[in-house]
Amino acid sequence: MPEGQQTVERRAAAGNRLQQMALWASVVVAVSGATTLLIGVRNYNRTAEAQVQLLALGTLQHYLDLAVAHPELASRDKDQPVDAQYGWFAAHALTTAQTLRLLVAQQADWQRSINAIIRQHRTYLRSGAFVCEDFTPEFVRYLRDRVEDLKCAPAPDLR
C-alpha cells in the first residue's frame, strides 16, 4: 500500500476515534446533567420538608410558650366557665392545631400533638363558644370526629 494511502487511512481512523470520543463525551455530559438534576430535586424536596418541619415546630413552640406564660388558661378544670380570655386562648390553640394539621398531619408524632391540643380544649369545643366558621370545614369535621358533642357558635355579624 502506498505511503500516501496509509496516511489517509490513519487520518480517517484517527477521525473515527475522535468522533467516538465526542459521542461518548456527549453521553457522559448528558448522564452527568441528569444525575445533577435528580440530586438537585432530591435536595430541594429534603430542604422543603425540613422547612415545613421547622414551621410546624415554631407554631407548636409559640402555643406552648403561651401555655407556660398562662397556665391558668392552659390547664383548666372541666367545670370552669368559658370566659373571654380563655375563649381567645382556646381559639389560638385550635388555630395551632389546624395549622399543624395542614402542615404535618400525615406524621404520627405530629398527629399526637394535634390530638393533645384538641383534648386539652374539649370543654371549649363543647361550650358553644367555638365559632366553626372561623376554621376550615375539613378541620371542623376532624374535630367532630374527636369531640362528639361539639357545639358551634354563630359567626359574629361583621356589618
- For residue 105, what is the DSSP state? T
Q: Are 148 and 126 in contact (CB under 8 A)?
A: no
Please indicate, yes or no, if residue 42 is contained in any of the structural domains: yes
Q: What is the pLDDT of residues 50-91, one digit of tens each?
A: 898 999 999 999 999 999 999 999 888 888 888 889 999 999
pLDDT, residue 136, reads: 95
Please indicate, yes or no, if residue 31 is contained in any of the structural domains: yes
pLDDT, residue 39, reads: 83
pLDDT, residue 8, reads: 62
Please indicate, yes or no, if residue 41 is contained in any of the structural domains: yes
User: How many structural domains does the chain have?
Assistant: 1
pLDDT, residue 132, reads: 93
Q: What is the pLDDT of residues 95-146, one digit of tens each?
A: 999 999 999 988 888 999 999 999 999 999 999 999 999 999 999 999 999 9
C-alpha grid cell for residue 56? 410546624
Please indicate, yes or no, if residue 154 is contained in any of the structural domains: no
Please indicate, yes or no, if residue 46 is contained in any of the structural domains: yes
Mean pLDDT, range 38-56, rounded to an integer: 84
Please indicate, yes or no, if residue 159 is contained in any of the structural domains: no
Please indicate, yes or no, if residue 127 is contained in any of the structural domains: yes
Domain range spanning residue 18?
A: 3-146
Q: Are 93 and 70 in contact (CB under 8 A)?
A: no
Predicted confidence band at 17 (pLDDT cuts at 50, 70, 90)? confident
Please indicate, yes or no, if residue 105 is contained in any of the structural domains: yes
Amino acid at 114: I
Predicted TM-score of the model (pTM)? 0.74
Largest CA distance in the chain: 111
